[in-house]
Amino acid sequence: RAMRRARALLPLLLCSLSAAQPGYLIAAPSVFRAGVEESISVTIFNSVKETTVQIQLVVKGETVSRGHGTVLDKGTIKLKVPSGLRGQAHLKVWGNRHVTEEGYIFHNYTTVTIDSKGSSVFIQTDKPVYKPKQKVLINLFMVTSDLRPINDRDPRGSRMIEWDNLKPFCCGIVNMSFPLSDQPVFGEWLIFAEMQGHTYNKSFEVQKYVLPKFELLIEPPRYIRDLSTCEKGTVHARYTFGKPVTGKLIVNMTINGVGYYRHEVGHPVLKTTQIDGSAVFDVCVKDMMPADVPEHFRGTVNIWATVTSSDGSKQVTFDDSTPVQKQLIDIKYSKDTRKQFKPGLPYKGKVEVTYPDGSPANRVTIRIKAELTPKDNVYTSELISRNGLVEFEIPSIPTAAQYVWLEVFQELADYDVSDAFGAPKEEGHFWWPGMSSRRRRRSSVFPWHWDITKDARFAFTVGRIRNRLERRHVHR
């Protein structure tokens, strides 16, 4: 029996009797490509002897290609599709066609489509717009290995450069480049690639380079910790030759959440003022905060500054480098801190301690705790950061330990553990249930046996002592 498709691209020919009797399954592409050697998969169920399988591709009653092979259980037969064909064709398959050999006897056929395009080419440039004297980088991606001539044409239709008989260096990829002159023809340029009689093209722009008349720079607050106060930001505008720009400044600001709060979007605030070289503006977080967010919200201030000079020129710039968060310190384990331990040997780790702007936080006290069970503590230590780093060592973990909890806690009102470790909302199963007034994140380190390495998901938990951090903030 014939089934046209079991999947979107494969017509299947299937004849199957009872489980004890033989049957067959033939799978072939629904679209054949001219000039390409196609593969037809043949499966004989419950076969006892090898079966000679013959395949023919018939176009308008004429056989244009043949293939054959012997199959025991499963096999693949190749069929070369001649070039220059297109349209509908019949794919005919015989098993033991001449009934002269042992094996399963069957015959079937289906209709396939022949695409005259035997391969495809994808053209890529490194950018869509170029300036005079820049280099144009071109990548060609194709499905076969014999790429034929490719050339470039300028907006006037003139052939500018040509490469012949290109060969891919790997994986069907060809790349080349050519430099633009200092006085090229401006407008749309075309890249043509020709392969197996088919032509592909892609366009790019060449435009005159216009130097900006003046430059804009936003100098935002380093970070914002007190959500109830206003910080200061500054916009600087100067011509390229150094003269200050006078004109109108429009500042558009809002807050977007990050990490755990990345889906939160704040309210826009628009400010308009005059600028003479520079202008100062207020950044009031309380006016931009998203609605109904916790006290320990984390986000960044997004600032767009638009300056229109007295001569009518306009420039726009953007900045989102100012973090907004209540806690002063960010804490995370270093990437080289191991996920497993060797029973009976010391365990070493590192904690990175930074301010919200990413700079190292020094002389901050960190408490680290390790326990086998909530009542079986094996290590507790308070360490002070140096150059934004705390290194700790657990002298020895009992040899019988199956896992070790590493835990440090902090009062929820002052510290949001989820953001410190970049944990998204979907990872809620990491939280230890039953902790409301004090949020904890407990994580385990598994033993690393001498003969077997266990791979386990984990994240260390660290915390800081609240009063000492507050004093550090005052003296900073």
SS (H, E, C) 235-252: EEEEECCCCECEEEEEEE
Give the C-alpha separation, 133 to 149, whole Å: 25
Instruction: Say which DSSP state 122 is in.
Output: E
Where helices occur in 190-295 by DSSP H, the ranges are: none
Q: Tell me the β-bridge partners of 123.
A: 140
DSSP 3-state of 38 = strand
| Nearest Cα residue to 216 out of 189, 190, 247 | 247
Amino acid 160: pLDDT: 67
The residue to which tokens 């366009």 are assigned: 203
Q: Is 166 helix (H, G, I), strand (E, B) or coil?
A: coil
CA distances from 329 to 289, 322, 430, 462, 468 (A): 21, 15, 22, 12, 12
Q: Are 343 and 398 in contact (CB under 8 A)?
A: yes
Matching CATH number, 214-324, of 1.10.10.60, 3.10.310.30, 3.40.50.10420, 2.60.40.1940: 2.60.40.1940
pLDDT value at position 130? 84
Number of other residues whose CB lies within 10 A of the CB of residue 74 = 12
Domain 121-206 classification at class level = mainly beta
Which uninterrupted H or E stretch holds 420?
helix 417-420
Say what the pLDDT of residue 281 is.
Answer: 96
pLDDT for the residue 211: 61
- Quote the strand ranges of 298-359, DSSP E: 299-309, 314-324, 330-333, 340-341, 347-354
Q: What's the pLDDT at 232?
A: 94
Position 269 scores a pLDDT of 95
Q: 80: how many CB neighbours lie within 10 A of its CB?
A: 14
Distance CA 178, CA 161 (A): 8
Q: Where are the domains of the chain?
A: 2-115, 121-206, 214-324, 330-475
Structure tokens at 246: 């006078």
| CATH 3.30.360.10 applies to domain 330-475 | no
Spatial separation of the C-alpha atoms in residues 411 and 413, rounded to whole Å: 6
Q: How far apart are CA 340 and CA 447, in angstroms?
A: 5
Dist CA 437 CA 445 (whole Å) = 26
pTM of the full predicted structure? 0.40
Whether the Cβ atoms of residue 118 and residue 137 lie closer than 8 Å to each other: no
Question: Which pLDDT score is estimated for 90?
Answer: 92
CATH label, 2-115, candidates 3.40.50.1980, 2.60.40.1930, 1.10.630.10, 3.30.420.40: 2.60.40.1930
Q: Give the per-residue pLDDT at 210.
A: 66
Strands 62-71 and 340-341: unpaired
CB atoms within 10 A of CB 222: 14
Please give the chain's pLDDT, 476 residues, in tens.
Answer: 333 333 334 444 444 444 457 788 889 888 888 888 888 999 888 877 888 888 999 998 899 999 988 888 889 999 888 888 888 999 999 888 766 666 678 888 899 998 877 667 778 888 888 888 888 888 877 765 445 555 555 666 666 677 777 777 676 677 788 888 888 888 888 888 887 677 878 888 888 776 667 889 999 998 887 888 899 999 999 987 788 999 999 999 999 988 878 888 899 999 999 999 999 999 998 899 888 777 777 889 999 999 999 888 889 999 999 988 876 677 777 888 877 777 778 888 888 888 777 788 888 888 888 777 767 778 888 888 888 888 888 887 777 776 676 654 433 333 333 333 333 333 333 333 332 233 333 444 544 433 322 233 333 333 333 333 333 332 33
Query: What is the C-alpha to C-alpha distance for residues 179 and 318, in angstroms, rounded to an integer?
Result: 32
Integer Cα distance of 432 and 409 in angstroms: 12
DSSP code for 326: S
Measured between alpha carbons, how far is 141 from 121 in angstroms, rounded to an integer? Answer: 5
